[in-house]
A = this chain, B = another copy of it.
Amino acid sequence: MINLHSLYTFIDLAGTFAFAISGAVAARDKGLDVFGVLVVSFTVACGGGIIRDVCIGAIPPAGLSDWRYLLVSVIAAIIAMGLSPLMKLLDRPVILFDALGLSLFAVSGAEKALSFGHNNEVAILLGMITAVGGGVIRDIFLNRIPVIFEKEIYASAALLGAVVVVAGHSWGIPNGWVSPAGFIICLVIRLLALKYHWKLPSFSERKK
């Protein structure tokens, strides 16, 4: 039987790695120094999870107290900064890592909120916040409007992934199926949105 706690820890660490790569590459391209890249990488990777943990009362936040999060984001930052051949490989795939991180965090955020005994709405909202929080912090640090508010379906994919997790648990579907389903649905929607430039409509044109 799958242990829910170790499941979401594993998913969380994988998401941490994915977002740390994306944060480190963005920080490196802005010309930040080594330590700046490490800090941004860690903040992007763990920021969403720290917000989630503070909101569900998981004190101190796992991102601060569990050395594995720090280690994973330092390793990701070193890979992004230093290993040139790998870096070349990663330059394009960073958007894939970002999509992986989004899907992993949407699931782990919802799972953790549920495992702390909170209600479905908290789990859905914090799943999405865990998933998009790091990217919003990255864009605020880099002094631009968070891209999640403008680009292809992004936060809405995370929301759907979290909804799948919460619905799966409340319908009594076995744990081993729920997280993978939420992950795959979020990831597929995000990748399809990237490939076909799916966008949600906006209403500002009405003013022209």
Within 8 A of B (CB), among A142-187: 142-146, 148-150, 153, 155-156
Question: A202, B118: Cβ atoms under 8 Å?
Answer: no
Segment 66-118 of A: residues with Cβ below 8 Å from B: 66-67, 70, 81-82, 84, 113, 118
Contact B126–A31 (Cβ < 8 Å): no
Q: Identify the interface centre among A59, A66, A142, A150: most chain B CB within 10 Å of its CB.
A: A59
CB distance from A134 to the nearest CB of B (A): 15
A65 within 8 A of B: yes
Chain B contacts for A144, CB-based, 8 A: 143
Total interface residues on A, CB under 8 Å, equals 58
Contact of A206 among B84, B122, B126 (CB under 8 A): B84
CA distance A144 to B199 in the complex (A): 25
Q: Which residues in B have their C-beta under 8 angstroms from that of A39?
A: 148-149, 155
Contact with B along A189-208 (1 / 0, CB 8 A): 00000000001111110110
- Determine whether the beta carbon of A37 is less than 8 Å from that of B203: yes
A156 lies within 8 A of B30 (CB): no
Q: What are the residues of chain B within 8 A of A145 when measuring CB–CB?
A: 30, 141-143
Considering only residues 25-41 of chain A, those with a C-beta below 8 Å from chain B are 27-37, 39-40
Give Cα A108–Cα B37 distance, bound, in whole angstroms: 25
- Is A13 in the interface zone, CB < 8 Å from B? no
Contact B150 A64 (CB under 8 A): no
Assess the A82–B33 pair: CB atoms within 8 A: no
> A203: which of B34, B61, B142 is its contact (CB, 8 Å)?
B34
Could you show 23 A-B contacts with beta carbons less than 8 Å apart? A27-B149, A30-B145, A30-B149, A32-B149, A32-B150, A34-B202, A34-B203, A35-B153, A35-B156, A37-B202, A37-B203, A39-B148, A50-B55, A55-B60, A55-B64, A64-B122, A65-B118, A65-B119, A66-B121, A67-B121, A70-B121, A84-B206, A141-B149
